[in-house]
Structure 1
């Protein structure tokens, strides 16, 4: 992949699409350096990796007045842990994505007279940050049961997991309910799919994160599938991302 100019980066936090309200996002990961120097190294220091951590920061233009806008979404979850998904290039299925859970640690808003109202926010990762792909795009609403595009993410070896984020951006209907599950298979046709994990049924805006458990998975193909239920013509717009770490 050649050098990229960031023009269509997508940012999702809990049940908010912050793309149209942000103009900067940074995701950092680091490993603690632990010294293990002993005699016999010829005077050279020896180190090894310790605990890993991640941090996320974003900024842009302030908006309020709807649960999906940055001010409402941030105040609703400040001090809480929510799922985050960052897609550096776009949010089409198969696009590169980074997914994590992070504690909302700070939020700054306001500026000088005459300025476009700005905002800045920071979050500290808790748990794994994974590199993966978008499994469902934000712009396609679902009103019936279905399954997503097959992604060849590879197997889940011993010591790793498949991580997933789900951001429900809108919900319509009288009693809408959306249940999203993660499936794997040995082939792209999903001849014999296996359900590996299932998100809690969603009835409105919000976000969830989960990880597979159990033995290693040799299947190399992955997708999401969903069930839409309820009354009053239920419909949902949502984003999902998958990554193995």
Structure 2
């Protein structure tokens, strides 16, 4: 049974490789469920797919130094930027597909955590337009 442990995930936002700050990156995509049931369905619900959407959820280790994660993310707030996420930072291939598209940077939490915690920032960014999968 093949298994994989994520040890070197790759994340890029707006052309910035953020892998060194990224503790977690989760890309989810879904399709709306549309009910198209009619009397002809004999009492069974019939559904079809509607609009597609996605979300990129991230958790970062915070760094306020010049040119680091806070300085990269703060100016992006409210903009739509390209993203790329891969299971590893290795070359894209059949066993390391890349997922690309655009996301809206709708939130940024500069300060997050409690006493004694690592300084982190977590956020979820909705996709804007298609999410593509490539192996080349």
* TM-score, scaled to structure 1: 0.51
Higher percent of residues as strand: 1
Structure 1 gaps of 5+ residues are 134-150, 152-245
Equivalence map 1:1-245=2 (5 Å): 2-67=2-67, 69-94=68-93, 95-108=96-109, 109-133=111-135, 151=136
**Higher mean displacement: 79-88 or 104-113:** 104-113
SS at match of 2:108: strand
1:16, 1:70 within 8 Å by CA — same for their partners in 2? no
* TM-score, scaled to structure 2: 0.89
Structure 1 segments (4+ residues) deviating >3 Å: none
> Higher relative contact order at CA 8 Å, sep ≥6: structure 1 or structure 2?
2
SS at match of 2:71: helix
* Superposed displacement of residue 106, structure 1: 1.4
Paired residues in the alignment total 133
Tell me the C-alpha RMSD between the 2 structures. 1.6
Structure of higher CA gyration radius:
1
Structure 1: distance between partners of 2:100 and 2:90: 13
Structure 1: distance between partners of 2:128 and 2:62: 26
